[in-house]
Amino acid sequence: MTTAKRALVAGVPLLVVEPRADITRGLLALWEPFLSGSKERMEPMLQRLAGAGFHAVSFDPWRHGERAEDGSNFVESVFGAFRQRMWTILGYSLLDGLAVVDWALAEFGLAPKVVAGGVSMGGDIAVAMAGVDFRIVRVATIGSTPDWARPGMALLNDPDRLLPQGEPDARAEALRAAFDPTLHPERYRQRPAIAFEFGADDRHIPAENAVRFARETGNPDIRVTSHLGLDHLTSARDPQLVQRCVDWLCG
């Protein structure tokens, strides 16, 4: 295990785990947290990616981790006005991620060939980033979606009830218009390679949205796999799915 290091880039707190010199690939791997998560909670995955030879980095998404605002009901507040708050988190975190990639490639002298991924919201960020940053060549996600509108999204604690998403404000609408992958399928027709891993019982983020996206892009390197016996929360912790993501990012 390598000691994780902290950094601050353009006001964004990072956690970095470097590979041993004898196994380095000279490539960057970015792995992002789920809603309410933090870069520290991603350290086990960063260690695995560093063990596979990547310079592994995670950062706190907008309003997460060290950037969180006071209040204990953050998740409830996001779900209470989903399109306004989640779309803003996704858009601002994407922009932060571009600055993080710029910094990491220069700081460690890495090739401009990046892999990225995450769990749930973190994977949403990674997929959207890949649409505007052509340095990202492979993406792996667990329980994530390319569709910010999330058709068919059910409540986490009641899979038989759809979550009311509310309406976006102008800022959120502009961010979605710029970055939602499903609004720009042309960005994904030739690249990158993307693995969407789902629990077959996930009603919170249905796999059908990723299946539709893969069909609309026509990209043969987009893979969507559903795993029996897992829902949204259990798939995020499943060691088999985590290993499949590592294997995919290794290419």
Q: Residue 224 in contact with residue 200, Cβ under 8 Å?
A: no
Q: pLDDT, tens digit, for every residue of 154-175?
A: 998 898 999 999 999 999 999 9
- The tally of CA atoms less than 13 A away on the side-chain side of residue 12 is 26
Q: Residue 151: which domain range?
A: 5-250
Task: Confirm if 50 and 18 have CB atoms less than 8 A apart.
Answer: yes
* Mean pLDDT to the nearest integer, 109-125: 98
The CATH number assigned to the domain holding 90 equals 3.40.50.1820
Which value, in Å, is the radius of gyration of the alpha carbons in the chain?
17
HEC string of 10-48 equals CCEEEEEECCCCCCCCCCEEEEECCCCCCCHHHHHHHHH
Contact at 8 Å (CB) between 150 and 162?
Answer: no
Q: Check whether 71 has a pLDDT greater than 80.
A: no
The total number of structural domains that make up the chain = 1
CB 124 within 8 A of CB 148: yes
- Tokens 């596979």 -> residue: 52
* Per-residue model confidence (pLDDT) at position 157: 87
Predicted model pTM? 0.97
